[in-house]
Structure 1
Amino acid sequence: MTQLSSNELTRSGFPKLERNSELARLLLAFLATAGIFYVNIMPALVDGLIDGLGFSNQEAGFVGSANVYGAALGAFGVVFFIKKINWKVSAYLLLCGLIAMDLLSMLVSSPLIMMAARFMHGVIGGALVGIGFAVIARTTNADRTFGYLLSVQFGLGGVGLMYLPPLVPEYGTTALFLALIAFSVVTLLMLPFLGDYHPEESAATPLKSVGSKLSKPLLLVLFATFFFQAANMAVYAYIIGLGRDAGINIDDISSALGQAAWLGILGSGLVIIFSTRFGRVLPLTVGILLTAIGTWAFHFSELFWVYWWANVAIGITWAFVISYLLGLCAEFDTTGQMAALAGFASKMGLASGPMAAALVVGDGNYSMMLNAAVVSLIICLLLVLSPARLLDKAE
């Protein structure tokens, strides 16, 4: 299969990539990442607001949550319009909106105004992610494309976590927002090369034939996605503070987080390689249980090797499991509407995790946060087993 379509060019003269080529999957991954890339550098963002602007632990956590709650609202809103809008024109406008809001955020120093600004940024980014998820659902083997998505998020997130925190004391939060702007600009330059991805050209699967319905299996997957993302993001948002509380210096923490993010690419890479070769029940069960074990291990973070190992393990399993969860949701219709709804469930989890953690952690109660995260992961596993088994049988 060639990467470029032999008979289609955009009006501007850009060649369109074939809809299911590997390079097209990679560009779609950038598109779906651009609206929520701040999640992948959330520890740097939360810690940067504390060190750079003097926000309290709770204020910084609430800013992060406001950003992702806005994304949840944007992702939910786009569900109702995804069948009607021109997704590519909408993506151009939304990317420009993200850049504008990040520029505005550089001028803000008040916690309340920052929460409002980041909430609006989240709404715009969430709509973009919903569009990206919907388009990904129109590819064949959508879980492969989601694997590319997580590879981009963890790979570039690792770069951000290694190099951004040390820049905050010198350049303030401006360094964080400039990194987000750079990502949006790069995505804008990629967009012209993507095809149209009309829904009617999508391949049907046993579950896609039922149409866009809120069926019981889909609802279970949506709730499982919420609990999985909430558990991981609760810990991730405060992972720097947890490390400092355990006596680890910031250079070692940044190094551990960056390495964990890069090694997390192994998880999404396994999804790209295996796809559904071993079904979905087995990989989801193993992945979620390993995530729970890694989360529990943070109780012993005073041992740096445990802190490092837990970060790496969760980095790999997070990318691995969420690719399968999003891929499950994408199997329910050909328009991508249900995949966009999965984006909403994911963002609600990502937002609720830091919010709950902010209320629990207080001045340093990390143990209770870790225990709650483990319980949330077990709930996720119990919810997803039935729909995963159903899809395995259907295929």
Structure 2
Amino acid sequence: MTDVAKEVSMKPAMTVNAEGMMARVMLAFLATAGLFYVNIMPAIVSGLIDSLGFSRADAGLVASLNIYGAAVGALVAVFIITRVYWKPLAVALLLGLIALDTLSIWVTEPLTMKLLRGLHGMVGGMLVGVSFAVIARVSLVHKTFGYLLFVQFGLGGLGVMFLPPLAPVYGTAALFLSLIAFSAVSLVMLLMLPAYRVEDAPKPTVGSDIQWRPLGAALLSVFLFQAANMGLYAYIIDLGKSYGLSLTFISPTLGISAWAGLVGAWLVIIFSTRLGRTVPLFVATTLTLLATIALHYSASQSVFWIANVLVGITWAFCIAYLLGICAEFDKEGKMAALGGFASKTGLASGPMVSALLLSGGDYTVLINVAAIALAACLLICLYPTQLLDKLDKSVQDSGSG
């Protein structure tokens, strides 16, 4: 058999266009599979408490270890993504997730669940890191991250809406079976994705040498943005109650805010880099900051509603751009995976810092700290965004000349 024949025989029967919409959607599913439990985390925590009798502390620690495990896995992905073929690795990681979610169905003891979900987080974090690295090899990386956030917020909203009522009837099996189903669908999609070789990837905007200072600023921006938002979001129900709002009002508000994230993700897909990166991020991050400050006036139902819905939109919008900026610093995808690590570390650290700040039960300090973190993110992200926008403009000018 000739080399050409061998190459043809190794290709899957159906491979989607590497730069097409279907490929971007499939990459979004692949990246979401590794961290989908975060999108339905309220349902999982509630299910552990109601169905297995876990204490609130134990259920919360299961969630925290799951996310910290993902941060570790994402960091590991940074070092292995250029040493192995990504597709067989992704297959192995998806099968690992399916196996660990299957085992989780039969676990009823808190310590075992914590250890198992921590391991699950590591495997999922590696998958997200690998997926981010592959996404970095596609043109218009911000658009692909927009599809990623669209999938996460859309399916996450469905999960939070329909899964909690199933847990009291079918136990935690309903929750973990939904994760298994998502991984299985992602596995089928993975088989239809092209190879996305490094040598075929578009050249990074900043050139072949990684510029560590702007990259460090981008990574810090990701961490601060995620920590500030998740630090408040983890306690947003109790925050609303502390201002006298009822659960019957808070729950629908949070559901609408989750669906509002679809708008933010859609805007990223529409705009991509047509308006550059600096202006969209500056406007959206400023709106996030103002909405966070507005939570001081949560005693007003309208203020609480508007603030949460606005953050839902801007959260999806901003993080897609911030992760995209990290991905533009190299074509191998290591920096995109590093962006995933910064994101997950922020998601896990925000609630931990919040727990320390809420020892007195006053949300004033927590809101102020979150606002300061967002303001710092806003200032820090200007450095890498302006650099990339200037480089884009110079490339366009040289091309037109």
Q: TM-score, normalised by structure 2?
A: 0.89
Report if the CA contact (8 A) 1:62-1:355 is conserved: no
SS at match of 1:334: coil
Show structure 1 runs of 5+ residues with no match. Answer: 1-7
Report if the CA contact (8 A) 1:75-1:130 is conserved: yes
Paired amino acid for 1:49: L
Residue in structure 2 matched with residue 369 of structure 1 by the alignment: 366
Paired amino acid for 1:160: G
CA displacement, residues 248-272 of structure 1 (integer Å, 9 cap, x when unaligned)? 5555444332322222111111111
CA displacement, residues 223-259 of structure 1 (integer Å, 9 cap, x when unaligned)? 1101111111122223334345555555544433232
Residue in structure 2 matched with residue 107 of structure 1 by the alignment: 106
SS at match of 1:44: helix
Deviation at 1:117, TM superposition (A): 1.5
Report if the CA contact (8 A) 2:69-2:125 is conserved: yes
- Corresponding position: 1:267 with 2:260: no
Report if the CA contact (8 A) 1:292-1:377 is conserved: yes
Q: What pairs up with 1:153-192 in 2 under 5 angstroms?
A: 153-192=152-191
Q: Distance in 1 between matches of 2:160 and 2:361?
A: 22
Q: Distance in 2 between matches of 1:305 and 1:338?
A: 41
Distance change (3 Å), C-alpha of 1:219 and 1:13: closer
Q: What pairs up with 1:96-135 in 2 under 5 angstroms?
A: 96-135=95-134
Structure 1, 367-376 or 87-96: larger mean CA deviation: 367-376
Structure 1, 29-38 or 97-106: larger mean CA deviation: 97-106
- Corresponding position: 1:223 with 2:215: no
Distance change (3 Å), C-alpha of 1:378 and 1:49: farther
Distance change (3 Å), C-alpha of 1:9 and 1:362: farther
SS at match of 2:15: strand
Paired amino acid for 1:142: V
Q: Distance in 1 between matches of 2:260 and 2:111?
A: 36
Give the one of 270, 273, 276 matched to 1:276: 273
CA displacement, residues 88-125 of structure 1 (integer Å, 9 cap, x when unaligned)? 11111111111122222233333333221111011000
Paired amino acid for 2:151: V
Report if the CA contact (8 A) 1:61-1:237 is conserved: no
Residue in structure 1 matched with residue 208 of structure 2 by the alignment: 210
Q: Distance in 2 between matches of 1:177 and 1:299?
A: 37
Paired amino acid for 1:46: V
Give the one of 312, 319, 327 matched to 1:315: 312
The number of residues matched between the two structures is 386
Q: Distance in 2 between matches of 1:47 and 1:310?
A: 25
Paired amino acid for 2:102: L
Report if the CA contact (8 A) 2:264-2:314 is conserved: yes
Deviation at 1:279, TM superposition (A): 1.2
Residue in structure 2 matched with residue 305 of structure 1 by the alignment: 302
**Alpha-carbon RMSD:** 2.2
Name segments (4+ residues, structure 1) moved above 6 Å: none
CA displacement, residues 112-146 of structure 1 (integer Å, 9 cap, x when unaligned)? 33221111011000000001000000000101100
Deviation at 1:184, TM superposition (A): 1.0
Larger radius of gyration: 2
Show structure 2 runs of 5+ residues with no match. Answer: 1-6, 393-401
Structure 1, 54-63 or 90-99: larger mean CA deviation: 54-63
Taking only the aligned residue pairs, the percentage that are identical comes to 54
Q: TM-score, normalised by structure 1?
A: 0.91
Residue in structure 1 matched with residue 398 of structure 2 by the alignment: none
Paired amino acid for 1:166: P
